[in-house]
Amino acid sequence: MGAAGGPAPATDLIRFSGVTKRFGDRTVLDSLDFSVHPGKHVTLIGPSGSGKTTILRLLMTLVKPDEGTITVGGERLWPANEKEIRSVRRNIGMVFQQFNLFPHMKVLRNITEAPVHVLGLSRDEAEERGRELLDLVGLGAYTDSFPSRLSGGQQQRVAIARALAMRPKVLLLDEVTSALDPELVAGVLDLLRDIARSTDVTMLCVTHEMGFAKDVSDCVMMFDEGRVLEYGPPEKIFSAPEHERTREFLGAVL
């Protein structure tokens, strides 16, 4: 219960507190504070080099903060020991710009490897779930194909299915359509819209697709020089931004 007797405030799923990241002399994230509630879809927008991808990479523990704390589901991702990091990381899946599928494995095998080896599912259980996911992403007929036989858009769908196979609480999407031919972009964005509507996964999405940001996000975070300049619902950020810098950025990309 909240202090006034009303419902307790929703607990944050992701929380960054005072997170600073430097590469050499360059401060890429500067004492960053933000939080994301469970089930929300948040898009990160802002100029190139403003630190958006670095946030996703911190959550994947591909890079480590120089200062600050990061928690996911109330558990510390940083600072934390290896065991704690592994346990928190298990809740987080990521889809990259380049699909990074295993080229020597068939599509279904690409999706079942981590559930078998990391989650400890039996091969049968993992395959059953893998087939369901391939149906979900419209690739049920491609279980026995090698990735090289698929288009870029299809490969990206497999990568999305592979991330979902780990039943993540948080799905990180890093410019997932930017390596695709233009005619394949809409299909992948439609799939992500469906996933956003039909699952309770929390999404953090770096994108240059402002249309997608408008209709999928509950919140948009506008970054500039390693800081959150504005954070709010898309209708506010896109229609009535508070900062001149946001207006300039949107003016250039919309």
Ligand X SMILES: Nc1ncnc2c1ncn2[C@@H]1O[C@H](COP(=O)(O)OP(=O)(O)OP(=O)(O)O)[C@@H](O)[C@H]1O
Binding residues for ligand X, rule: CB under 6 A, are 23, 28, 46, 48-54, 206
The minimum distance between CB 63 and ligand X, in angstroms, equals 7
The minimum distance between CB 179 and ligand X, in angstroms, equals 12
The CB density around residue 166, as the number of other CB atoms within 10 Å, is 17
The minimum distance between CB 9 and ligand X, in angstroms, equals 30
The CB density around residue 224, as the number of other CB atoms within 10 Å, is 17
The CB density around residue 142, as the number of other CB atoms within 10 Å, is 19
242-251 long-range CB contacts below 8 Å, 24 or more apart?
246/222, 249/45, 249/46, 249/47, 249/222, 249/224, 250/210
SS3 66: coil
DSSP structure class, residue 39: T
Nearer Cβ to ligand X (46/73): 46
The minimum distance between CB 203 and ligand X, in angstroms, equals 16
Nearer Cβ to ligand X (44/107): 44
Nearer Cβ to ligand X (65/73): 65
Nearer Cβ to ligand X (51/147): 51
The minimum distance between CB 115 and ligand X, in angstroms, equals 29
| Phi and psi torsions of 184, nearest 5° | -100, -10
E strand or H helix that includes residue 108: helix 107-117
Residue 69, exposed/middle/buried by CB under 10 A (0-12, 13-18, 19+)?
middle
Give the list of residues 6+ apart from residue 250 with CB closer than 8 angstroms, or none. Answer: 210, 238, 241
Take residue 21 and report the two structure tokens written for it: 């990241």
Nearer Cβ to ligand X (28/72): 28
The minimum distance between CB 221 and ligand X, in angstroms, equals 11
Nearer Cβ to ligand X (161/180): 180
